[in-house]
Amino acid sequence: MTLVTIAHADRTELIPLLFEHKEEIRRHIVLNDKKEDDRFHADALVRGLGRLKKRYRLKYTIQRIEVDEDDRGEILHLANALPADGPVALNAAGADLALTTMVGKALLDRGGETWAYDTQKASYNRIGASTCANHPVQHPMKLDDFFDLMAIERFEYASIDPPFEALSALFGDAGRFFRVKSWLLRRQYDRLESLSRPMRVALGRLGLYTSYRSISKDAAARLGRLFEAYVHDLAQRVGFDDTMTGVTLKFHEARRGDQSPLMVTNEFDVMVMHRNRPCIVECKTGLNASTNPLEIVYKVDALMDFFGQASRGLVIHSHDGERKGNLYSDTLKLRASRKGITILDSQKMGPEHITRALRQTFL
C-alpha cells in the first residue's frame, strides 16, 4: 500500500501510524508546504523513515513532494496525480486543514482512506468514503523506535545495573538515606561502621562503602545515579512498554534562513514509553543553596517540548525535611500540572510512593 503523510511541527502525531503499518507499506510519500519550518520537519521525517527501514530491513520507497498550501490549483493537481495502483491512505493528524481536506477528498473519491491518530487514546480512525472505524494500536513503539522516526540521535546510555535489593535498602527509608548520605559525604567512618551489617553490605554492593575507611571518591555523583537506577527499576516493574535510564540524546533544531540546524544535546534521568507516549522523569535528592524548584519545572517543561504535546513529566524530589513545608508551592504544582508535569515532593521515597506516582502520571 501507499501512505501519504503531511509533515508538520508535531511529528509525534504522525509517526505512530508509520510504525503501526511498517510491514505493509510499500511506498511512503511525504508531503510538505514550501514554508521553511515544514521543509525542516519533512526532512526529519524522511530521515526517520530511512532509519526505521534500516533497523527492520523493510522494503518501502520514500518520495518527498512539496506543494504550496495556499495554491488550490497546485494542491488539486498534486492530489489527482497521487498513485492509484493499490490501497492508499492519508496520514495527516494535526496537519494544515486546507492541504488535508483537498488531498483527503481526492483519495476518498478514488477509494482511499484518511487516517487520524489520537495521541491520548493510542488509537486511530480509518475513514473511507462511506465508512469510519476506530482501531486501537497493536504495535506500540519502543523508545529506540521513537528516536529513529523522530531522527533523534541516542548515545549509548550510561547503564549501571546495581542489585535492586541493595537500592531498596539505601533509598527505601528517606530518613536513613539522608543520614547515610551525610556520613558518606562527610567521610564519617565511625558512623558508617555503626550501621547494621546488612546495610553495610548493601553499601558495598552499590560501590559506596566497601570497608572501613574506604568510601567511593565520587560518592555524591554516584548517589544521584543510583537514585535514578532505583526509580528506573521501579518503572520497569510497573509494566510500561519501554524504559531507559541515563539517556543522552542529540536533537536537530531548525533555524531561520540558510543556517544549518542547531544540534542540541540533553541528558535524561529516566525515560518511559507507554502507548506511544514518551515521558520523562527528573530525579532529585536533597537540597543545597542552588536548589530552585521553579528552574527544575521549567527544565522538565522544556525537555518535554522535544517529544510533542502528548508527553508527560514527573519530578521526584526527595529531601530530608530541613525546610519546613513543601519545597514546591501549591501554585507551582498547579502550574506544572497544567503543563503535564506531576511533582512528587516528599520525604517519603519508598517503593509504594514512587510506584504510585509513576502509575498515576503515565498510565
Q: Are residues 216 and 327 in the same domain?
A: no
Residue 70, in any domain of the structure: yes
Contact predicate 281/231, CB 8 Å: yes
Residue 349, in any domain of the structure: yes
Q: Are residues 26 and 95 in the same domain?
A: yes
Give residue 331's pLDDT.
94
Q: Are residues 98 and 115 in the same domain?
A: yes
Q: Are residues 10 and 100 in the same domain?
A: yes
Residue 154, in any domain of the structure: no
**Beta bridge partners of residue 63, listed in sequence order:** 29
Q: Are residues 358 and 297 in the same domain?
A: yes
Residue 8, in any domain of the structure: yes
Give residue 158's pLDDT.
61
Q: How far is CA 360 from CA 4, 77, 112, in A?
A: 36, 49, 39
Q: Are residues 331 and 263 in the same domain?
A: yes
Q: Are residues 177 and 257 in the same domain?
A: no
Q: Are residues 241 and 198 in the same domain?
A: no
How confident is the prediction for the chain on average, in pLDDT? 90
**Beta bridge partners of residue 62, listed in sequence order:** 28
- What pTM value is reported for the model? 0.92
Give residue 41's pLDDT.
94
Q: Are residues 37 and 138 in the same domain?
A: yes
Query: What is the C-alpha separation between 91 and 4, in angstroms, rounded?
Result: 6
Residue 151, in any domain of the structure: no
- Please measure the distance between the N-terminal and C-terminal CA atoms of the chain and give it in whole angstroms: 33
Q: Domain containing 29 — which CATH number?
A: 3.40.50.10770
Residue 156, in any domain of the structure: no
Q: Are residues 197 and 276 in the same domain?
A: no
CB count within 10 Å of CB 330 equals 8
Q: Are residues 329 and 236 in the same domain?
A: yes
Give residue 281's pLDDT.
97
Alpha helices in the chain (DSSP H): 15-20, 36-56, 72-81, 97-109, 143-149, 164-171, 174-185, 189-193, 197-205, 219-238, 293-304, 330-338, 351-362
Give residue 350's pLDDT.
84
Residue 102, in any domain of the structure: yes
Residue 153, in any domain of the structure: no
Q: Domain containing 266 — which CATH number?
A: 3.40.1350.10
Q: What is the DSSP string of 307-358?
A: G-TT-EEEEEEE--S-SSS-SS-HHHHHHHHHTTEEEEEES---HHHHHHHH
Q: Which domain holds residue 317?
A: 228-362
Residue segments in the chain with a per-residue pLDDT below the cut of 70 = 156-159, 211-213, 254-260, 288-290, 321-325
* Burial call 273-295: b when 16+ CB within 10 Å, e when fewer: bbbbbbbbbbbbbbeeeeeebee
Q: How many domains does the chain have?
A: 3
